[in-house]
């Protein structure tokens, strides 16, 4: 015959096991949350002085610009959209900058935030732009963080440091002056 204390001890074991399982599940949830925070896009946009690592980019024409294309070059990144009137004002100046800096240690890339790549492709073709253009991806969002507006432009130095950030439309002479960052 079992005593009452033995029966009570046996009934407590499942409760203790459940409590341990709950603590383990909570601990795992915390660890997974921390991992998700560390591997996802930063909640804040990068700012001047921050160091970034740029990923490769699949261009709208299907070619891939590898991450190595940005090594030892100043990189100018512009976010735009086909429906953005301020982008429509700035992009002709970005095209002129692209043409003026060919052969210099500077890489210009533009990232569309359009929902459909066909909208971005049609826009580029309609305006005759030849600058490298791709779609914003999770990898680029992770590298540069949250956007604050359109157009948004970053100048990233050869060492990966953000040298300049502009949110909103820039005047033509200010876009042209970005050529001075070549090799920095």
**CATH number of the domain that residue 67 is part of:** 3.40.30.10
Residue 38 confidence (pLDDT) above 80: no
pLDDT score recorded for residue 19 = 58
Is residue 27 domain-resident? no
Is residue 142 domain-resident? yes
Is residue 135 domain-resident? yes
Q: Which carries the bigger pLDDT value, residue 22 or residue 95?
A: 95
Mean pLDDT score of the chain: 86
Is the distance from CB of 70 to CB of 54 less than 8 angstroms?
yes
pLDDT score recorded for residue 84 = 98
Is residue 151 domain-resident? yes
Is residue 177 domain-resident? yes
Query: Averaged over 56-75, what is the pLDDT?
Result: 96
Residue 6 confidence (pLDDT) above 90: no
pLDDT score recorded for residue 20 = 59
| Domains identified in the chain, total number | 1
Residue 165 confidence (pLDDT) above 80: yes
β-pairing verdict for 74-80 and 106-112: parallel
Domain that holds residue 148: 50-181
Residue 55 confidence (pLDDT) above 80: yes
Is residue 124 domain-resident? yes
Is residue 13 domain-resident? no
- With b for 16 or more beta-carbon neighbours within 10 A and e for fewer, the 143-180 pattern comes to bbbeeeebbbbbbbbbeeebbebbeebbeeeebeebbe
pTM of the complete model: 0.76
Residue 25 confidence (pLDDT) above 60: no
Is residue 29 domain-resident? no
Beta carbons within 8 Å of 37's beta carbon, 6+ residues apart? none
pLDDT score recorded for residue 2 = 53
pLDDT score recorded for residue 44 = 82
Query: Averaged over 53-70, what is the pLDDT?
Result: 97
Query: Averaged over 74-93, what is the pLDDT?
Result: 98
Query: Averaged over 121-138, what is the pLDDT?
Result: 98
């Amino acid at each position: 015959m079992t005593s009452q204390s033995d029966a009570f001890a046996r009934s407590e074991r499942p409760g203790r096991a459940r409590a341990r399982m709950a603590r383990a599940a909570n601990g795992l949830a915390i660890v997974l949350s921390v991992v998700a925070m560390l591997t996802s896009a930063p909640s804040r946009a990068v700012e001047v002085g921050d160091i970034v690592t740029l990923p490769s980019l699949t261009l709208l024409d299907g070619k891939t610009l590898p991450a190595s294309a940005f090594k030892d070059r100043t990189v100018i990144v512009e976010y735009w959209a086909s429906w953005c009137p301020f982008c429509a004002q700035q992009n002709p100046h970005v095209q002129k900058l692209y043409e003026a800096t060919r052969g210099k240690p500077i890489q210009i890339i533009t990232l569309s935030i359009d929902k459909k790549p066909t909208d971005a492709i049609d826009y580029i073709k309609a305006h005759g732009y030849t600058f490298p253009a791709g779609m914003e991806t999770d990898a680029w969002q992770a590298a540069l963080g949250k956007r604050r507006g359109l157009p948004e432009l970053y100048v990233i130095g050869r060492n990966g440091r953000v040298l300049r950030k502009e949110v909103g439309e820039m005047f033509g002479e200010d876009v042209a002056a970005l050529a001075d960052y070549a090799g920095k």
